[in-house]
């Protein structure tokens, strides 16, 4: 069964502090939009009191789909910081009865002139961090780690994802928007690595903004502010086909909408969240009726 959810990033929450919406405000908004599943968001955004979080989720009828954590994977100086964060997340997820953690590389760490570029040593550092994180979460907390390829990092293109999957045993959090960002075939790749996909993120890509990136006219990080991640019903990815594939393959897990807000978005985060859910629900209802 596909469990549709949303995440704090759809309301512009990328860090634990400095946000325009509070933890309570976010939980109210995501529930009001009709979702029954949410990710935890950046470590600390909802606090680290499992009793408070559990009560806040329960009173709004929300299920926790795990957590997502961003880290500079190719910087060996940050290994200790990652371990500390993983223990905090593991304890929190354990107390909340949640068993999924998404790990992704930090795109902001890379200079604009070398986005996503690492040398051989940097790659090995990243792989070691991923393997160590996977082992720690499994053995100490019973949590499954899902690596999320992310644009502007050292794991974003298919050859890099393939290599990462070969060199680790980690599950894959497949993000439709990040994969399509570089004009890669979402459906074909999902089919090829199906057995490694353990978690889904649903995004779409504005082909006009993407074309500016591909032509070297717009930087990766700036493209998000300019709306490269479009509403699900409007972009280059055939989201309906993605959902049909998930249903046909009997995908039993989370599919989380992440609607990165553009600076000049025509709709508010609340309206976008509702629109995306209505679109997905209509697709899944039709596909399930045809089964």
Does residue 1 surpass a pLDDT of 80?
yes
pLDDT given at position 113? 81
Non-local (6+) Cβ contacts of 186 within 8 A are 176, 179, 180, 237, 238, 242
Q: pLDDT digits over 35-77, tens only? A: 999 999 999 999 999 999 999 999 999 999 999 999 999 999 9
CA-closest candidate to residue 173, choices 118, 266, 271, 101 = 101
Contacts made by residues 49-57, CB under 8 angstroms, sequence distance 24+: 50/92, 50/95, 50/96, 53/92, 53/96, 54/95, 54/96, 56/23, 56/24, 56/27, 57/27
Ranges of H-type helices in 78-231 = 79-96, 120-141, 158-167, 176-180, 186-192, 207-214, 220-225
Identify the pLDDT of residue 52.
Answer: 98
Strand pairing category for 67-71 and 100-105: parallel
Return the pLDDT at 287.
Answer: 75
Neighbours of 221 (CB within 10 A): 14
> How far is the C-alpha of 87 from the C-alpha of 70, rounded, in Å?
15
pLDDT band at 201 (very low <50, low <70, confident <90, very high): very high
Locus of tokens 């009997």: 250
Percent of the chain topping pLDDT 90: 90
When pLDDT is cut at 50, 70 and 90, the band that residue 115 belongs to is confident
Residue 194, both tokens: 């199906």
**What's the number of domains the chain is made of?**
1
The CATH number linked to 278 is 3.20.20.150
Exposed, middle or buried, 262 (CB in 10 Å: 0-12/13-18/19+)?
Answer: buried
Give the range of the structural domain holding residue 147, as residue numbers without chain letter: 2-290
Residue 153 has pLDDT above 90, yes or no: yes
**How far, CA to CA in Å, does 5 sit from each of 24, 40, 85, 223?**
17, 11, 24, 24
Alpha carbons 83 and 106: distance in angstroms, whole number: 16
* Model pLDDT for residues 230-269, shown as the tens digit of each residue: 999 999 999 999 999 999 999 999 999 999 888 888 889 9
pLDDT in tens, 136-150: 999 999 999 999 999
CA distance 119 to 175: 25
Can you tell me the distance from the alpha carbon of 200 to that of 158, in angstroms, rounded to the nearest whole number?
A: 16
Question: Per-residue pLDDT averaged across 213-222, rounded?
Answer: 92
SS3 content of the chain, % helix, strand, coil (to 5): 50, 15, 35
Which token pair is 9? 């990033």
Instruction: Say what the pLDDT of residue 291 is.
Output: 66
Split at pLDDT 50, 70, 90, the class of 114 is confident
Average pLDDT over residues 166-195: 98
Of 85-89, 213-217, 229-233, 261-265, the range with the lowest mean pLDDT is 261-265
Q: How far apart are CA 218 and CA 211, in angstroms?
A: 9
Q: Who has greater pLDDT, 291 or 35?
A: 35
Mean pLDDT of all residues in the chain? 96
Q: Are strands 144-147 and 171-175 parallel, antiparallel or unpaired?
A: parallel
Q: For residue 290, is pLDDT > 80? A: no
Sign of CA dihedral 258, 40, 161, 241: negative
Encoding tokens for residue 267?
Answer: 């709709």
pLDDT tens for each residue of 2-25: 999 999 999 999 999 999 999 999
Distance between CA atoms of 93 and 99, rounded to whole angstroms?
A: 7
């Amino acid at each position: 069964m596909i469990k549709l959810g949303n995440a704090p990033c759809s309301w512009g929450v990328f860090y634990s502090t400095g946000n325009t919406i509070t933890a309570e405000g976010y939980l109210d908004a995501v529930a009001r939009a009709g979702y029954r599943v949410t990710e935890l968001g950046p470590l600390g955004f909802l606090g680290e009191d499992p009793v408070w979080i559990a009560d806040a989720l329960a009173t709004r009828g929300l299920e926790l789909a795990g957590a997502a954590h961003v880290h500079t994977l190719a910087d060996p100086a940050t290994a200790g910081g990652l371990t500390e964060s993983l223990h905090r997340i593991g304890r929190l997820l354990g107390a909340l009865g949640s068993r999924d953690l998404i790990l992704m590389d930090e795109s902001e760490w890379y200079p604009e002139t070398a986005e996503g570029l690492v040398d051989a040593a940097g790659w090995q550092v990243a792989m070691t961090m991923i393997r160590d994180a996977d082992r720690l979460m499994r053995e100490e907390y019973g949590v499954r780690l899902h690596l999320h390829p992310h644009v502007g990092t050292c794991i974003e293109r298919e050859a890099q994802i393939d290599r990462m999957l070969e060199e680790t045993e980690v599950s894959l959090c497949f993000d439709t928007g990040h994969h399509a960002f570089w004009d890669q075939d979402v459906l074909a790749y999902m089919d090829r690595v199906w057995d490694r996909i353990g978690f889904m993120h649903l995004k779409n890509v504005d082909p006009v903004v993407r074309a500016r990136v591909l032509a070297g006219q717009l930087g990766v990080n700036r493209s998000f502010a300019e709306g490269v991640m479009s509403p699900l019903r409007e972009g280059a990815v055939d989201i309906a086909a993605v959902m049909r594939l998930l249903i046909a393959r009997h995908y039993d897990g989370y599919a989380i909408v992440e609607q990165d807000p553009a600076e000049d978005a025509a709709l508010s985060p609340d309206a976008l969240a509702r629109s995306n859910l209505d679109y997905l629900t209509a697709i899944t209802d039709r596909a399930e009726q045809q089964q």
